[in-house]
């Protein structure tokens, strides 16, 4: 049996993951051909669509079966798995999918099937192995139907096999929908150890097309750091590889590169981008290559200006200057903003002036709100804004050539006449490199 060790780095923030096997574009290259592309770090083979009565479906890539059985036997795919692993890529088998007959009725069922998967696809020694002596690098759970029972026990039993084997590193991954908590995997994600979670930010209200206000990566980051069994679990932005790959949520390469750069700069949980699927992402558009290249180059890097100098002023206005670039920010309550005790809302301006040179590459403003203020929502006309860790984050791709103002409306608890301006000494302005 061949145990190929890979150079894949699970701790990286620049990994690109592609699902393969379902030929969602209508046709697909072989697994080996996709692995020949340096853009891809992990291939997730889809799907083991029926269990515990095991059935695989890899579209037209493999049709042969073991004699007297419906179980696929795929020697060519086995050779490709070894080829991928020899090139430093991880190859994982996905269980479930949107269409299939699968699920466990109890924890005992989950444990027993973990033993089966270990013997058929991983480091065990089953009599019928669909990929012969090729040893996969792990298992993915893309559970979109059936019962929620047994999966935590399944993962725990698989991990007991992993720990007993010193031959190679194995991974457990999951692919929940973005609404939090996931209806099918939520409880399993809380109790079982996952190495990577590929959140499907598409076909839902919280997807990439809802960025920034409705995009809920922050909720998943909170889960990763406070509820996950593995506090170092890596989260991936799951994205359709083309317009036809999903009902909604597709964004072009330039847009997702910008989103991924933003998320990467703020969340240590970020692991990279996952795409459905290889046949769509690596077509003539080169969407996959573009996204992977941006990840591996570090995305759009940002540098902080010198900390702003200023002091908290109870009259709600302050003039501050930012370092060598002589960027002037003024926080002030204006005539067109308001305070309301009854609605718990407050408004203020940030005026930005580039005194000696324009900021042409775009900018990002981080405004920590006073302690004790719980913000429910914020808005700034014509600007992308979100609230993260009680900080207003404003992102804009335009230039700052002269005086400009960003007007905010903040709503939440403990906001009223006693609400003071954010402390200008804690505001940070960033520009893209």
Q: Cβ neighbours of residue 303 under 8 Å, at least 6 residues apart? A: 430, 431, 433
Tokens of 192: 């079982």
Q: Are the C-beta atoms of 337 and 348 separated by less than 8 Å?
A: yes
Tokens of 125: 């020694």
Backbone phi, psi, residue 273, to 5° = -125, 140
SS (H, E, C) 230-286: CCCCEEEEEEECCHHHCCCCCCCHHHHHHHHHHHHHHCCCEEEEEEECHHHHCCCCC
Helix axis angle, 151-164 to 107-121, nearest 10°: 40
Q: Provide the b/e sequence for 44-75 (b: ≥16 CB within 10 Å).
A: bbbbbbbbbebebbbbebbeeeeeeeeebbbe
Annotation says 144 is catalytic: yes
Helix axis angle, 253-266 to 287-296, nearest 10°: 30
- DSSP secondary structure string for all residues of 126-175: -S--TTTTB--SEEEEEE-SS--TTHHHHHHHHHHHHHH--S---EEEE-
Residue 226 DSSP SS3: helix
Look at the alpha carbons of 190, 136, 44, 285 in this order and tell me if their dihedral is positive or negative. Answer: positive
Q: Are the C-beta atoms of 375 and 387 separated by less than 8 Å?
A: yes
User: Of the residues 70, 144, 333, 364, which is catalytic?
Assistant: 144
Provide the 8-state DSSP code for 406.
Answer: E
Of 138, 130, 89, 122, give the one whose Cα is nearest residue 2: 122
Residue 423 DSSP SS3: coil
Is residue 329 packed enough to be buried (19+ CB in 10 Å), middle (13-18) or exposed (0-12)? buried
Q: Are the C-beta atoms of 339 and 419 separated by less than 8 Å?
A: yes
H or E stretch at 288 = helix 287-296
Cα distance between residue 18 and residue 273, in whole Å: 9
Of 246, 227, 232, 236, give the one whose Cα is nearest residue 175: 236
Residues noted as catalytic: 144
């Amino acid at each position: 049996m061949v145990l190929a060790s890979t150079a894949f780095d699970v701790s990286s923030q620049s990994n690109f993951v592609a699902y393969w096997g379902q030929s969602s574009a209508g046709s697909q290259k072989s697994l080996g051909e996709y692995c020949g592309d340096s853009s891809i770090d992990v291939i997730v083979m889809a799907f083991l669509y029926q269990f515990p009565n095991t059935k695989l479906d890899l579209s037209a890539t493999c049709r042969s079966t073991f004699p007297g059985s419906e179980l696929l036997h795929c020697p060519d795919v086995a050779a490709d798995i070894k080829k991928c692993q020899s090139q430093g890529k991880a190859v994982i088998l996905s269980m479930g999918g949107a269409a299939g007959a699968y699920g466990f009725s109890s924890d005992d069922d989950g444990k027993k099937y973990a033993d089966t998967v270990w013997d058929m696809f991983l480091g065990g020694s089953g009599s019928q192995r669909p990929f012969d002596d090729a040893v996969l690098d792990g298992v993915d759970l893309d559970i979109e139907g059936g019962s929620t029972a047994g999966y935590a026990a399944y993962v725990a039993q698989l991990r007991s096999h992993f720990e007993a084997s010193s031959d190679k590193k194995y991974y457990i991954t999951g692919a929940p929908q973005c609404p939090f908590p996931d209806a099918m995997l939520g409880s399993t994600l809380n109790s079982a150890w996952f190495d990577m979670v590929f959140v499907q930010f598409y076909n839902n209200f919280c997807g990439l097309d809802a960025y920034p206000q409705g995009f809920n990566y922050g909720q998943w980051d909170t889960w990763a750091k406070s509820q996950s069994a593995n506090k170092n679990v890596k989260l991936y932005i799951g994205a359709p590889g083309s317009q036809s790959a999903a009902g909604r949520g597709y964004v072009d390469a330039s847009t997702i590169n910008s989103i991924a750069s933003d998320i990467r700069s703020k969340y240590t949980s970020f692991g990279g981008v996952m795409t459905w699927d290889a046949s769509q992402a690596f077509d003539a558009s080169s969407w996959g290559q573009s996204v992977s290249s941006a990840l591996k180059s570090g995305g759009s890097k940002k540098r902080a200006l010198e900390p702003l100098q200023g002091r908290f002023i109870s009259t709600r206005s302050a003039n501050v200057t930012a370092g060598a670039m002589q960027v002037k920010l003024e926080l002030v309550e204006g005539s067109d903003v308001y305070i309301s005790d009854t609605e718990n809302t407050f408004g203020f301006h940030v005026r930005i002036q580039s005194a000696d040179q324009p900021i042409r590459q775009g900018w990002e403003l981080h405004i920590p709100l006073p302690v004790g203020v719980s913000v429910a929502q914020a808005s700034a006309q014509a600007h992308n804004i979100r609230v993260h860790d009680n900080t207003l984050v404003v992102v804009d791709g335009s230039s700052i050539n002269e005086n400009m103002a960003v007007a905010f409306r903040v709503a939440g608890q403990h906001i009223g006449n006693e609400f003071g301006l954010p402390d200008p000494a804690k505001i940070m302005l960033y520009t893209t490199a």
